[in-house]
């Protein structure tokens, strides 16, 4: 791990997952996705801002042709989900008949996906799946079918590798957990 503890604003975070463990999990997930989507040319819909590092590493490892677009939704304030999703930047591409893979940094309450899935399904895609770096089953409030989970983690607040605490910490290559 790069550092022992990090302090962001008023919070201290301890090391949780090193970059090598993240790399291995992302590689494994990319192998599964490449096999499952062989010949389908999926469209990866990346939820900004937290999923940008995960998406970059995931797509670099995809062996099948694919496309990528970005959307932005927000439902966090500090370390807590607000429970209200605000779509900031929407999807403009025609996804009718396409195989869609939503790329999310973390699924905890499921509120973001619960809001986003009906919006995407209304546009007539051939399929929609979720690929998430982290999944916190203890936090889930909405039933979701998660076929592509890189890592399952406890209900702890984490930062690094794209995930933030009030905008900071996204640049950390390792993942840290709040103390």
Catalytic residue, chosen from 57, 105, 108, 174, is 108
Please state, in angstroms and rounded to a whole number, the distance separating the CA atoms of residues 24 and 103: 17
Q: Can you say how many angstroms the Cα of residue 33 is from the centroid of all Cα atoms in its chain? A: 15
Q: Which helix (H) or strand (E) holds 45?
A: strand 43-48
Indicate the SS3 state at residue 13.
strand
Containing 86, the helix (H) or strand (E) segment is strand 80-89
Spatial distance between the Cα atoms of 177 and 130, rounded to a whole number of angstroms = 24
Instruction: Using the CB atoms, write b or e for 55-76: b if 16+ within 10 Å.
Output: bebbbebbeeebebebbebebb
Q: Verify whether residue 156 is a known catalytic residue.
A: no
Pairing relationship of beta strands 127-135 and 148-152 according to DSSP bridges: parallel
Catalytically active residues, by annotation? 108
């Amino acid at each position: 791990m790069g550092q022992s503890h990090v302090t962001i604003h008023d919070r201290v975070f301890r090391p949780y997952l090193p970059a090598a463990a993240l790399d291995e999990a992302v590689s494994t997930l990319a192998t599964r996705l490449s096999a499952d989507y062989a010949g389908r040319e999926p469209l990866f819909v990346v939820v900004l801002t937290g999923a940008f590092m995960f998406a970059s590493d995931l797509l670099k490892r995809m062996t099948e042709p694919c496309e990528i677009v970005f959307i932005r939704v927000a439902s966090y304030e500090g370390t807590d989900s607000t429970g209200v999703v605000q779509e900031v930047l929407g999807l403009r591409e025609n996804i009718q008949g396409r195989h869609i893979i939503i790329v999310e940094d973390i699924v905890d309450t499921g509120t973001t996906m619960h809001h986003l899935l009906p919006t995407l399904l209304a546009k007539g895609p051939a399929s929609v799946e979720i690929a998430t770096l982290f999944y916190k089953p203890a936090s889930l409030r909405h039933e979701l079918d998660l076929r592509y989970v890189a890592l399952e983690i406890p209900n702890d607040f984490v930062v690094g590798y794209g995930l933030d605490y009030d905008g900071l910490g996204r640049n950390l290559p390792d993942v840290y957990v709040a103390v």
